[in-house]
Amino acid sequence: MSEENWIEVGSTDSIEEEDLIRFDHQDKTFCVYRLTDGFYATDGICTHEAVHLEDGLVMDDEIECPMHQGIFNIKSGEALSPPACEDLKTYPVKVDNDKIFIKID
Amino acid sequence: MKNNIIILGGGQAGIYAAREIRQNDTEANIKILGEENLLPYERPPLSKDFLLNKKNEDDLYFHSSDVLKNENIDFENISISKVDFENKKLFSKNEDIYTYDSLLISTGSDNKRLSLDNNLNDDVYYLRNLEEAKTIKEKVSDKNKITIIGGGFIGLEIASSLSQLQKKVTVIEIGNQLMGRIIPKQIADLIQKTHLENGNKIILNKQIDKITKKNGINDILLSDNSLIQTDFIIAGIGSTPSVKLFENTNLKLDNGIVTNQFCETSIKDVYAAGDVCNFYHPFYERNMRLESYQHAQNHGICAGKNIAGVKTEYNSIPWMWSDQFNLNLQLTGICDDYDEIIERGNDINNGVIYFFLKNKKIRGACGVGIMGKVGRDIRITSKLTEKNTIVDKQILSDQNQKLNKLIQKQ
Ligand SMILES: Cc1cc2nc3c(=O)[nH]c(=O)nc-3n(C[C@H](O)[C@H](O)[C@H](O)COP(=O)(O)OP(=O)(O)OC[C@H]3O[C@@H](n4cnc5c(N)ncnc54)[C@H](O)[C@@H]3O)c2cc1C
Ligand code: FES
């Protein structure tokens, strides 16, 4: 695991609890979430159609797509409710000095 | 003795019911009878991504045959043509007999047909199933001018897709606005504007007087004597519940099969779910019939629970969507019973929502925005509706204030 892959997203207080922010890096979009037990990251685009999950609703450990209410588990990326059926990619997150980093492969 | 459960109609409500029954009853024999020779599949893409070649047939199935096999759910491709509720039997045309202990009816809905007084019926196309979607896709490929009769959801979605395939599309609507049955005029007008901007022609307030055909071109004569010449006609003029089979039985029908909040019909051991039902909604304290993806799924699951003996009330707040061009329209609750309307936003890029309130509580909302922009607010609205929250109108109307504040405030 090389250190270079950890990309800084922003400060921990940029995300409210039970909420998310969108993070764009190079040509990819990610969503970074603050849940009650920590920070998580997934791909930023729904696996059903090309829709940004940043406009979705975070409920407990789940993100609901704003377009057709497909639901994914934020921690595992598992697609939980149709029309979403393909899992969402997840990424490791760490917090260092109140800054959030995600590891992009 | 194992319970023999038959599900008549292999669509969305049917498959969700079947899997829910299996979750609660590992023993029962579960058999789905479907007249389409296809495993249950999603219909929403038929008018959108399937026409646009962004999705193909294999992308539409809810589950593979392996899932059904693993869960021991039997699917048989057969059309049922007679029922005998008294003796708990169903009959196919060839007089194959199916006996049940419990029956779920999930036969969906049928498209209304235009009544044309000449033999042009074969020249007007309709869209309800995959077969029809394939036919339309193939037939329009070498056509240019397409006319859609009916400015409802399905007609407009087809109009949007065909426009994106570079066709010249005209939509003829009998009413004075698009989607007039359920969508507020303000929202309908925003969607109409997008159709116009994309080159579609929209004709409102006009009836079809006559259709004639000469050298492959259709002449559509309208009530004001204007004439539209078109290469291909598709009608989307609404649907009716698929209840023909039950018309001469003692199953209670009234704009669909009448069910209570437990998906029970007027006949013991006979349940119904999905588009075909006029069901009692305890929250709204009235009966309603819905044609929506979310309803078909949740109603099917609820019926499945009740059939398996887990008594469950259906109280889901209605929700549906329609995608046209890059717009996503969403509707939650009911928008026809209110004493106040509140508007949130005025720019389609950020989303525009109309809330319908009664006694300071939200009964329903309808919104439209670019690609999912209204989704979160509409979802929160469903929750506020369900919880009967007395809402702060100032927060509702101010797009800079998050709606989840209203949930937390309780
Ligand atoms: C083109 C199109 C686009 C749509 N888009 C959207 C959308 O964007 N958003 C949304 O929320 N909803 C949408 N819907 C609505 C949604 O797909 C339906 O509400 C849902 O499919 C209803 O499910 P159901 O199980 O009740 O009926 P269906 O899925 O229609 O299934 C009923 C099945 O029963 C079978 N059947 C009927 N009679 C018999 C018989 N006698 N014997 C054997 N089988 C029989 C039928 O052939 C059919 O396969 C759309 C529908 C269509 C047609
Ligand atoms: S785009 Fe996300 S569920 Fe359809």
Give the per-residue pLDDT at B120: 74
Half-sphere exposure of B38 (CA within 13 A, CB side): 16
Do A68 and B42 make contact, defined as CB atoms within 8 angstroms? no
B394 & B302 share domain: no
Query: What is the distance between the terminal CA atoms of chain A, rounded to a whole angstrom?
Result: 10
Q: What is the pLDDT of residues B190-208, one digit of tens each?
A: 999 999 999 999 999 999 9
User: What stretch of H or E contains B382?
Assistant: helix B375-386
Give the per-residue pLDDT at B284: 96
B93 & B130 share domain: no
Q: Is the CB of A48 under 6 A from ligand 2?
A: yes
Structure tokens at B380: 């929160």
Q: Is residue B270 included in any domain, yes or no?
A: yes
Domain that includes residue B174, residue range: 113-237
Q: Is A43 on the interface with B (CB under 8 A)?
A: no
Q: How far apart are CA B140 and CA B217, in angstroms?
A: 13
Q: 3-state DSSP call for residue B274?
A: helix
Give the per-residue pLDDT at A4: 67
| CA nearest to A46 within chain B | B372
Give the per-residue pLDDT at B182: 82
Among residues B296, B294, B233, which one has the least CA distance to residue B10? B296
Q: What is the pLDDT of residues B198-238, one digit of tens each?
A: 999 999 999 999 999 888 899 999 999 999 999 999 999 99
The alpha-carbon radius of gyration of chain B (Å, integer) is 22
Ligand 2 centre from B372 Cα, in Å?
9
Q: 3-state DSSP call for residue B408?
A: helix
**For residues B241 and B255, is the Cβ–Cβ distance under 8 A?**
yes
Q: Is the CB of A67 under 6 A from ligand 2?
A: yes
Q: How far apart are CA B287 and CA B278, in angstroms?
A: 6
- B410 pLDDT higher than 60: no
- A44 pLDDT higher than 50: yes
User: What stretch of H or E contains B218?
Assistant: strand B217-222
Q: Is residue B27 included in any domain, yes or no?
A: yes
- B24 pLDDT higher than 90: yes
B81 & B164 share domain: no
**For residues B402 and B392, is the Cβ–Cβ distance under 8 A?**
no
B371/chain A closest Cα distance in angstroms: 6
Domain that includes residue A77, residue range: 3-103
Q: Is residue B313 included in any domain, yes or no?
A: no
Q: How far apart are CA A40 and CA B363, in angstroms?
A: 35
Q: What is the pLDDT of residues A22-32, one digit of tens each?
A: 999 999 999 99
Q: What angle is formed at CA B246 by the lines to CA B245 and CA B249, rounded to 5 degrees?
A: 135
B288 & B200 share domain: no
What DSSP assignment string belongs to B186-217? HHHHHHHHHHHHTT-EEE-S--EEEEEEETTE
Q: Is A62 on the interface with B (CB under 8 A)?
A: no
- The total number of structural domains that make up chain A: 1
Q: Is residue B312 included in any domain, yes or no?
A: no
Q: Is the CB of A70 under 6 A from ligand 2?
A: yes
Among residues B129, B109, B167, which one has the least CA distance to residue B45? B129
pTM greater than the 0.90 cutoff: yes
Neighbours of B342 (CB within 10 A): 17
What does pLDDT average to over chain B?
Answer: 95
Q: What is the pLDDT of residues B290-338, one digit of tens each?
A: 999 999 999 999 999 999 999 999 999 999 999 999 999 999 999 988 9
Instruction: Give the domain CATH number at B229.
Output: 3.50.50.60
Instruction: Give the domain CATH number at B401.
Output: 3.30.390.30
Give the per-residue pLDDT at B409: 46
Suggest the residue from B292, B371, B381 to mutate for an interface test with chain A (most A CBs closer than 10 A). Answer: B371
**For residues A50 and A65, is the Cβ–Cβ distance under 8 A?**
no
Q: What is the pLDDT of residues B73-115, one digit of tens each?
A: 999 999 999 999 999 999 998 899 999 999 999 999 999 999 8
- A5 pLDDT higher than 90: no
Q: Is the CB of B182 under 6 A from ligand 1?
A: no
Neighbours of A80 (CB within 10 A): 16
Closest ligand to the CA of A80 = 2
Instruction: Give the domain CATH number at A84.
Output: 2.102.10.10
- The total number of structural domains that make up chain B: 3
Q: How far apart are CA B29 and CA B192, in angstroms?
A: 49
> What percent helix, strand, coil does chain B show, rounded to 5?
25, 30, 40
Q: How far apart are CA A73 and CA B48, in angstroms?
A: 27
Structure tokens at B260: 């209570």
Q: 3-state DSSP call for residue B180?
A: coil
Residues of chain A with C-beta less than 8 angstroms from the C-beta of B328: 66-67
Q: What is the pLDDT of residues B360-405, one digit of tens each?
A: 999 999 999 999 899 999 999 999 999 999 999 999 999 999 898 7
**For residues B276 and B109, is the Cβ–Cβ distance under 8 A?**
yes
B268 & B378 share domain: no
- A1 pLDDT higher than 70: no
User: What stretch of H or E contains B305?
Assistant: helix B293-307
- Burial, B190: exposed, middle or buried (Cβ in 10 Å; 0-12, 13-18, 19+)? middle
Q: What is the pLDDT of residues B260-288, one digit of tens each?
A: 999 999 999 999 999 999 999 999 999 99
Give the per-residue pLDDT at B1: 67
Q: What is the pLDDT of residues B135-160, one digit of tens each?
A: 999 999 999 999 999 999 999 999 99
Give the per-residue pLDDT at B179: 95
The arithmetic mean of pLDDT across residues B52-65, rounded, is 94
Q: 3-state DSSP call for residue B46?
A: helix
